[in-house]
Amino acid sequence: MADKQVTRPIGLDPSWANDELINDPGEAWDGDTTKVEPGAGKRDDGYLPEENPDAQELNHVQNETGRWLQYFSNMQAMNWTPGGRVGEVTTAGQINSAGGLCYDEGSGQWIAVGRIISIAGEVSISQDGHTWTAIAGAPLASVNLDYVASKHPDFAPTHLSVNALISSATNASVIELLGGGLSGFTAPGVGTVNVAMQAWDEGNSQWIVVGGEDQAGTPLPAVWTDGTPMTGLTQRASAAVNSTRAELLAIDRAGLSVVIGDGAAPNFDVWTSLDAITFTQTAPVGVGVGESARSMIFDEARGVFVLLTERATYTSIDGVNWSLVGSFSGGGVHAVRCFASDNGGMYVAGVDGLGAAIRYSSDGGVNWRIVLVPGDYDQTGGAGASTDTVSRVCYSQALRRFAYSVSPPTGTYYGFVGLSLAVGDTTVEANGTTRSIPQVT
């Protein structure tokens, strides 16, 4: 018999007995639960010959099977393909190293920021992740660019084209990239100011920027906010107990922002805010002693903040009280500020100490696997050194792809961006439609 190509069935995803209670008015079982766990013994033996299967047990098994089929039907296959080298763009012999990376949903472009070795900061854009073009107005003299975050075009105030915020870890300037042009703003503070991360707060319609400043020789954390179009950052008071710098930032859809400082638990600070104005300092609860906060996101699918340390995964609904959900081994630790989700539950994080590698989880951070990712970083086409690490990971909802950037050591190295081939297990389609997928039991 000839082989047949099996195509994905057209129609609804497999589902059965999705209601919690039976709706059958007039019958004795009306209002009873639709599903009953058969138990370990029945699962081992199965239904016996001539046995009349219990309807509620059968419902439970078929409902469970349907949920798993739905889960795997859209699962992220961690296949990665080389993207492009963010290459030589201005002065001959000077190489652009890609440090920061994001996907701008408004313009449909990847944005990579970094530096031209020993010269200046550079901003490049790409439609496909392979061919990169320098933004007009770059390079920016004496500025190394390290971070970039974009605002979704549907979040109020709505916008068209590019709306992204670019910053430097070593310079006070924060640059708003809007409509293809570059505008510079300075983060106010006393002494030297540096930035660690930024994100758009949908609930409060504000950019939030975190980092630090040097007050008369004393390093202290700092938080700044502003709207869009940006007119100038406002510094928000934030008491510090144990931290010298604000390192991590994550925000839920309602506007609860969580900021975490440097140091090791329990000796790092957490600041939370509901209005992007008042940030309340406290100490984390539940994080293992001696563990440092390395990366954090808000997982929309599960409704929790997710924190990665060098040893474990923690979740929280308030950003203060954390619960351990999984730990990991196998070498390497999570890279700092290098963590992304597809808004459906797949986690991807950079790994330090293993060369160009990522760690991923499909079960909420309980279990993690490590994958080496392709790269070609030097001018001659040779492989990058073992010290090359994945510096940023981001996700494109429109393209249904993760991407990573490699920021190699100084010298004759290109910044490199790679892409995942397969779609994620997100519940949000590229056109914004949300799929309703039952919780996997």
- Domain assignment present for 433: no
* Region 145-153 average pLDDT: 92
Q: 302 and 340: one domain?
A: yes
Q: What is the pLDDT of residues 356-370, one digit of tens each?
A: 888 888 788 988 888
Strand order in the sheet with 357-361: 333-341, 347-352, 357-361, 369-372
Residue 378, pLDDT > 60, answer: no
Q: Are residues 39 and 163 in the same domain?
A: no
Q: What is the dihedral of CA 423, 424, 428, 430, to 10 degrees?
A: -20
Residue 437 lies in a domain: no
Domain range for 51 is 12-73
Check whether residue 148 and residue 118 sit in a common domain.
yes
Residues 376 and 314 in one domain: yes
pLDDT computed for residue 379 by the predictor:
46
CB atoms within 10 A of CB 221: 27
How confident is the model over 339-364, as a mean pLDDT? Answer: 85
Q: Which residues contact 368 (CB under 8 A, 6 or more apart)?
A: 313, 326, 328, 359, 360, 361
41 and 116: one domain? Answer: no
Top mean pLDDT of 229-238, 252-261, 284-293, 405-414 is at: 252-261
Higher-confidence position of 410 and 25: 25
Specify if 303 maps to a domain: yes
**CA gap 210, 219 in Å, rounded:** 14
The domain that contains 132 carries what CATH number?
Answer: 2.130.10.10
Q: Tell whether the model's pLDDT for residue 427 goes beyond 60.
A: no
Tell me: pLDDT of 206 over 70. yes
Where does the pLDDT of residue 428 fall: very low under 50, low under 70, confident under 90, or very high at 90 and above? very low
Reported in sequence order, the residue ranges of 40-167 that DSSP labels E, i.e. its strands, are: 80-86, 96-104, 109-116, 120-126, 133-134, 140-141, 147-150, 163-167
Higher pLDDT, 127 or 77: 127
Please check the confidence at residue 221 and state whether its pLDDT lies above 60.
yes
Can you give the pLDDT at residue 91? 52
**Residue 102 confidence (pLDDT) above 80:** yes
**What residues pair up with 215 in beta bridges, in sequence order?**
218
Together in a domain, 49 and 84: no
Does residue 432 fall inside a structural domain? no
pLDDT of residue 312: 93
Q: Are residues 89 and 50 in the same domain?
A: no
Residue 115 to residue 7: CA distance in whole angstroms:
46
Domain membership flag for residue 41: yes
SS (H, E, C) 379-420: CCCCCCCCCCCEEEEEEECCCCEEEEEECCCCCCECEEEEEE
CA dihedral 407, 411, 413, 415 (to 10 degrees): 30
* Higher pLDDT among residues 297 and 432, named by residue: 297
Question: Which of 53, 73, 93 marks a domain boundary?
Answer: 73
* Residue 327 and residue 380 share a domain: yes
Domain match, 268 and 187 both: yes
The residue out of 27, 52, 73 marking a domain boundary is 73
Query: Per mean pLDDT, which of 200-209, 342-351, 373-382, 396-405 is the most reliable?
Result: 200-209
Residue 2, pLDDT above cutoff 60: no
Which among 280-284, 380-384, 418-422 has the top mean pLDDT? 280-284
Which band of pLDDT confidence, cut at 50, 70 and 90, is reported for residue 431? very low
Residues 98 and 68 in one domain: no
The owner of tokens 């570059």 is 182
- Based on the fold, state whether residues 20 and 116 are members of the same structural domain: no
pLDDT at 51 over 80: yes
Residue 415 lies in a domain: yes
- Whether the pLDDT of residue 209 is over 60: the answer is yes
- Whether 421 shows a pLDDT value over 70: the answer reads no
Query: Is residue 197 in some structural domain?
Result: yes
More confidently predicted of 95 and 293: 293
Chosen domain end from 32, 48, 73: 73
- Residues 6+ positions from 245 with CB-CB distance below 8 Å: 194, 196, 211, 212, 219, 221, 261, 262
Q: Which pLDDT score is estimated for 146?
A: 87
What is the percentage of the chain residues whose pLDDT exceeds 70?
A: 80
Number of domains within the chain: 2
Residue 5 maps to a domain: no
pLDDT band per the 50, 70, 90 thresholds, residue 414: low
- 33 with 94, same domain: the answer is no
pLDDT band at 197 (very low <50, low <70, confident <90, very high): very high
Phi and psi torsions of 193, nearest 5°: -115, 140
